[in-house]
């Protein structure tokens, strides 16, 4: 799939003008407005003002654009159409936009073959040939040797393959992604999903691989997790997530009515949790997990058909389990913010009997694997990976040499060999075969990308934020640039949900760099880069720290001479959209342009948006219905923070009808509010995808994903002075 890392892009033609017309502006009307206006941009479409006042904790909060929450209303649909016309007019056609489109096509429209999955006598894989709109599911005869499910002999574009499912037969517009989910133990059945556009909901179907026909058994369009066949292939387990009653684990027997599926577990849990089940030790035990937001989870165990008993419950920490050789391994931040590794006897699983195998260190314990009787542990040190080796009793046994400032992973089946995966800001994902005894390595999958990495550099710039906290911002730029503040720069960030923003390669970022731009990625509290204490210092009542960090990173870029406010743009999507919107409303003078995609914006009413499946996010953001959390949220909620008469930067928002994780009503209302409020004579536009959403690459064919990215990059380029805006 295209590497559209930083979300969709947009361009602005500076020869265009500005201020309001009618809600249903046609292109002709906009052109007429263009000739009549005296400012640099044409006016946005009118947005009707219809005030609604809420009172929460004794505080009156007025919203002029509540009517835009009615997504299906004729007036809303007309407003969306007018906004799309306006956005495209503002972006316009330009040389820089065409250049981005051409380069992104070269970088992303390439042959793409996925890994194989073995089932019976075949290997199954997805493949998209250059020029095709979407991946197709294929199969080929498997090698005679059994091997693992993931086979190292990857398919090539040329070969004798059989089409299993072509998504064009499901949707000729290629807005309905189809994905493999799993196979029955005997390999005769394939489970696959169908997703409408970018919605989170999926429909689950079962295909008989001998007949090529689907079974009558299917799960209707809804939210599912953990869907997998049972051991004998006569049915499957799945977690159904209801936005109202919460998640439930069920078992479906093939041939039965799904309405009669057996409920395994989950009664009593509400929509703010995720639950899961893992069957271990050849079916002797089940381990059940309950994830309460992104800061803690519980573990339960069941032996056979016996009672379900807690392993650990109600402890404010993460407990991530894995089973091997009769033991349960638990990676946990319980009394160890940087995580440690414990072992648990499934027959005596209480925490009092746990044994510490690997203690907490100064670096964050991120992941581990077992190869040839040793543990290979991936740590995170100053937002870069390193790999240490341990004997099975925890005794140190060396370290794997890896490049600096990189994201790395290791896996292997044994026999003295392993696969080492490396990527960083200037290195696309590269796989090596690693000799574990000598450290010798050989590239097995060289990246096919035409660019000169030596022409660029990465500067790890440290900034200081609220409370004296220090963190790095990675700045990717041409080698030897003069630090005179003149460089068009995009600052990106996320800062939330215990997610690390590690070094990685992006084709979209490369296209920006090649045009002479600078790209920076900030490390922010709320993530996982420095352990769980770092995460919790950016959530709930501490969420403002994330915005403080981002602003401090921007100020550091300016102070060091990489850029200046008139050349600095910020970008973020989802929680990152909340980030850039909050930074913009708190420090509008610091930025020239904002790209805000699929964003959370109205945090005061977040709990009321029950059409979203992301209710667990209340445990990360907070719930404004709770007074203490309301007091923190009201200080930063971007939608309510917009003020009339403020000179806001140029803003592009993007969202879509099928975002069922972050309600698109937020971006609609924010667009109307900013268009009415700003006094800067800079444009505020909304690009609205009628089938876009959060999931599965937003449900777009390759060409549309590339077009969206080119639009966004061009918007930022023209606002920040990259390229020739008038061309």
Paired sense of beta strands 296-303 and 285-292, if any: antiparallel
pLDDT tens by residue, 372-400: 999 999 999 999 999 999 999 999 999 99
Query: Do 32 and 167 fall into the same domain?
Result: no
The whole-angstrom separation of Cα 130 and Cα 93 is 25
Q: Which of 421-425, 448-452, 678-682 has the lowest mean pLDDT?
A: 448-452
CA distance linking residue 365 with residue 350, whole number of Å? 23
pLDDT per residue over 277-296, tens digit each? Answer: 999 999 999 999 999 999 99
- Report the pLDDT value the prediction gives residue 144, as an integer from 0 to 100: 78
**Of 254, 271, 288, which marks where a domain is finished?**
271
Encoded tokens for 318: 């993460």
DSSP code for 384 = S
Report H helices in 560-595. 575-586
Q: Rounded to an integer, what distance in angstroms lies between the CA atom of residue 496 and that of residue 546?
A: 8
pLDDT at 324 > cutoff 70:
yes
Whether pLDDT at 6 is above 90: no
Q: 631: phi > 0 → left, psi -120 to 50 → alpha, else beta; which?
A: alpha
**Euclidean distance between CA atoms 339 and 549, whole angstroms:** 24
Which of residues 447 and 355 earns the better pLDDT score? 355
Give pLDDT, residue 40. Answer: 83
- Residue 725: pLDDT above 80? no
DSSP summary character for residue 590: G
Q: Residue range 171-177: average pLDDT?
A: 95
Closest-CA residue to 300 (of 269, 271, 325): 269
334 falls within a domain: no
Confidence class for position 145, pLDDT limits 50, 70, 90: low
For the cut 90, the answer to whether the pLDDT of residue 529 exceeds it is: yes
211: domain CATH number is 2.130.10.120
Cα(406)–Cα(460) distance, rounded to whole angstroms? 12
CA distance 557 to 308: 54
User: Are 31 and 96 members of one domain?
Assistant: yes
Angle at 439 between CA 383 and CA 437, to 5 degrees: 125
For 485, phi and psi rounded to 5 degrees?
A: 80, 10
Q: Stretch 69-85: mean pLDDT, rounded?
A: 98
**pLDDT for 726:** 39
Q: Is residue 298 part of a domain?
A: no
The structure's pTM equals 0.93
Q: Return the bridge partners of 375, or none.
A: 370, 390
In a domain, 506, yes or no: yes
Q: Same domain, yes or no, for 116 and 97? A: no
* Angle, CA of 598, 604 and 610, to the nearest 5°: 65
**Whether pLDDT at 106 is above 80:** yes
Are both 85 and 222 inside the same structural domain? Answer: no
Q: Exposed e or buried b for every residue in 49-79, given b needs 16+ CB within 10 A?
A: eeeeeeeeeeeebebbbbbbbeeeeeebeeb
Residues 474-518: pLDDT tens digits? 999 999 999 999 999 999 999 999 999 999 999 999 999 999 999
Residue 153: what pLDDT? Answer: 58
CA dihedral 12, 669, 8, 723 (to 10 degrees): 20
Asked if the structure places residue 461 within a domain, the reply is: yes
What is residue 42's DSSP assignment? P
639/707 same-domain check:
yes
pLDDT at 447: 84
Does residue 601 sit in the same domain as residue 679? yes
3-class secondary structure, 126: strand
Q: Summarize the confidence of residues 454-473 as an average pLDDT.
A: 98
Q: What is the pLDDT, as a whole number, of residue 4? A: 36
User: What pLDDT score was predicted for residue 613?
Assistant: 77
Task: Examine residue 727 and state whether it is found in any structural domain, yes or no.
Answer: no
Which pLDDT score is estimated for 39?
A: 52
The pLDDT value given to residue 30: 44
**Tens digits of per-residue pLDDT, 13-49?**
322 233 333 333 444 344 434 433 335 899 999 999 9
Q: Give yes or no for residue 1 having a pLDDT over 90.
A: no
Q: How far apart are CA 8 and CA 652, in angstroms?
A: 10
Is residue 72, in this structure, part of any structural domain at all? no
pLDDT in tens, 196-244: 999 999 999 999 999 999 999 999 999 999 999 999 999 999 999 999 9
The residue among 229, 255, 271 that closes a domain is 271
- Mean pLDDT of the region 603-620: 90
425, part of any domain: no
Residues 504 and 636 placed together within one structural domain of the fold? yes
Residues 582 and 614 in one domain: yes
Q: How many domains does the chain have?
A: 2
Residue range of the domain that includes 166: 112-271
CA–CA separation, 665 vs 683, rounded Å?
20
pLDDT tens-digit map of 614-671? 899 999 999 999 999 999 999 999 999 999 999 999 999 999 999 999 999 999 999 9
Q: What is residue 413's predicted lDDT score, i.e. its pLDDT? A: 82
Please tell me whether residues 246 and 100 are part of one structural domain.
no
Cα separation, 710 vs 97, in Å, equals: 6
Q: Which CATH number belongs to the domain containing residue 647 in this structure?
A: 3.40.50.1820
Which pLDDT score is estimated for 37? 38
**pLDDT, average across residues 690-711:** 93
Q: Is the pLDDT of residue 470 over 80?
A: yes
Mean pLDDT score of the chain: 92
Say if residue 163 is in the same domain as residue 249: yes
CA angle 312, 528, 551 (to 5 degrees): 140
Share of the chain above pLDDT 90, in %: 88
Please choose, from the candidates 551, 413, 532, 424, the residue with its C-alpha nearest in 3D space to the C-alpha of residue 476. Answer: 424
Query: Beta partners for 11?
Result: 715
In a domain, residue 192? The reply is yes
31 and 141 belong to one structural domain: no
CA distance 115 to 549: 38
Both 94 and 130 in a single domain? no
Last residue of a domain, one of 271, 299, 333: 271
pLDDT > 60? residue 67? yes
């Amino acid at each position: 799939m295209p590497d559209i890392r930083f979300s969709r892009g947009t361009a602005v033609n500076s020869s265009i003008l500005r201020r309001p017309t009618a809600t249903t502006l046609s292109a002709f009307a906009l052109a007429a407005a263009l000739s009549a206006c005296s400012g640099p941009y044409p006016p946005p479409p009118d947005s009707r003002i219809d005030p609604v006042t809420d009172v929460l904790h004794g505080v009156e909060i007025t919203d002029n654009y509540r009517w835009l929450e009615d997504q299906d209303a004729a007036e809303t649909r007309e407003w969306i159409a007018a906004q799309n016309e306006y956005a495209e007019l503002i972006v316009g056609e330009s040389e820089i936009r065409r250049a981005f489109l051409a380069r992104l096509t070269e970088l992303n429209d390439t042959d793409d073959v996925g890994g194989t999955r073995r089932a019976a006598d075949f290997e199954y894989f997805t493949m998209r040939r250059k020029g095709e709109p979407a991946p197709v599911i294929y199969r080929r005869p498997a090698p005679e040797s059994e091997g693992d499910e993931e086979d190292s002999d990857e398919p090539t574009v040329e070969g004798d393959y059989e089409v299993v499912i072509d998504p064009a037969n499901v949707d000729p517009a290629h807005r309905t992604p189809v994905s493999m989910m799993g196979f029955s133990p005997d390999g005769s059945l394939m489970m696959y999903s169908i997703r409408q556009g970018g919605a989170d909901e999926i429909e689950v179907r079962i295909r008989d691989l001998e007949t090529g026909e689907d079974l009558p058994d299917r799960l209707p369009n809804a939210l599912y997790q953990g869907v997998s066949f049972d051991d004998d292939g006569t049915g499957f387990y799945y977690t159904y997530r209801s936005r109202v009653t919460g998640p439930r684990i069920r078992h479906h027997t093939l041939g039965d009515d799904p309405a009669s599926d057996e409920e395994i577990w989950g009664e009593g849990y509400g929509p703010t949790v995720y639950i899961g089940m893992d069957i271990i030790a050849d079916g002797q035990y089940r381990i059940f997990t309950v994830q309460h937001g992104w800061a803690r989870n519980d573990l339960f165990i069941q032996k056979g058909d016996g009672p379900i008993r807690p392993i650990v419950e109600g402890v404010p920490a993460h407990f991530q389990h894995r089973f091997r050789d009769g033991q349960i391994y638990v990676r946990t931040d319980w009394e160890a913010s940087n995580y440690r590794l414990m072992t648990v006897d499934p027959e005596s699983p209480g925490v009092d009997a746990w044994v510490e195998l690997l203690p907490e260190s100064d670096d964050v314990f991120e992941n581990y694997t077992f190869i040839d009787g040793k543990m290979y542990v991936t740590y995170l040190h100053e937002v870069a990976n390193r790999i240490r080796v341990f004997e099975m009793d925890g005794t140190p046994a060396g370290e794997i040499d890896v490049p600096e400032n990189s994201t790395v992973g290791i896996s292997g089946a044994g026999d003295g060999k392993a696969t080492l995966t490396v990527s960083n800001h200037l290195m696309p994902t590269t796989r090596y075969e690693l000799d574990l005894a000598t450290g010798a390595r050989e590239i097995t999958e060289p990246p096919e990308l035409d660019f000169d990495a030596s022409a660029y550099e990465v500067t790890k710039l440290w900034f200081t934020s609220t409370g004296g906290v220090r963190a790095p911002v990675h700045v990717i730029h041409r080698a030897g640039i003069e630090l005179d503040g003149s460089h068009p720069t995009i600052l990106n960030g996320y800062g939330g949900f215990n997610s690390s923003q590690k070094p990685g390669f992006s084709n979209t970022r490369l296209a920006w760099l090649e045009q002479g731009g600078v790209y920076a990625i900030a490390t922010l509290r709320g993530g996982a880069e420095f352990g769980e204490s770092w995460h919790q210092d950016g959530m709930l009542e501490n969420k403002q720290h994330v915005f403080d960090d981002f602003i401090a990173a921007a100020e550091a870029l300016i102070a060091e001479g990489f850029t200046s406010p008139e050349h600095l743009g910020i970008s973020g999507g989802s929680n990152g959209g909340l980030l850039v919107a909050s930074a913009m409303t708190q420090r509008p003078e610091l930025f020239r342009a904002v790209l805000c995609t699929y964003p959370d914006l109205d945090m005061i009413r977040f709990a009321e948006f029950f059409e979203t499946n992301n209710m667990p996010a209340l445990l990360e953001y907070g719930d404004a219905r709770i007074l203490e959390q309301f007091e923190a949220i009201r200080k930063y909620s971007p939608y309510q923070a917009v003020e009339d008469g403020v000179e806001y930067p140029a803003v592009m928002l993007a969202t879509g009808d099928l975002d069922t994780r972050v309600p698109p009503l937020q971006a609609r209302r924010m667009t109307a509010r900013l268009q009415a409020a700003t006094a800067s004579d800079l444009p505020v536009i909304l690009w609205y995808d009628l089938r876009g959403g959060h999931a599965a690459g937003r449900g777009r064919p390759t060409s549309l994903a590339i077009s969206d990215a080119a639009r966004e990059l061009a918007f930022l380029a023209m606002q920040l002075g990259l390229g020739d805006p008038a061309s």
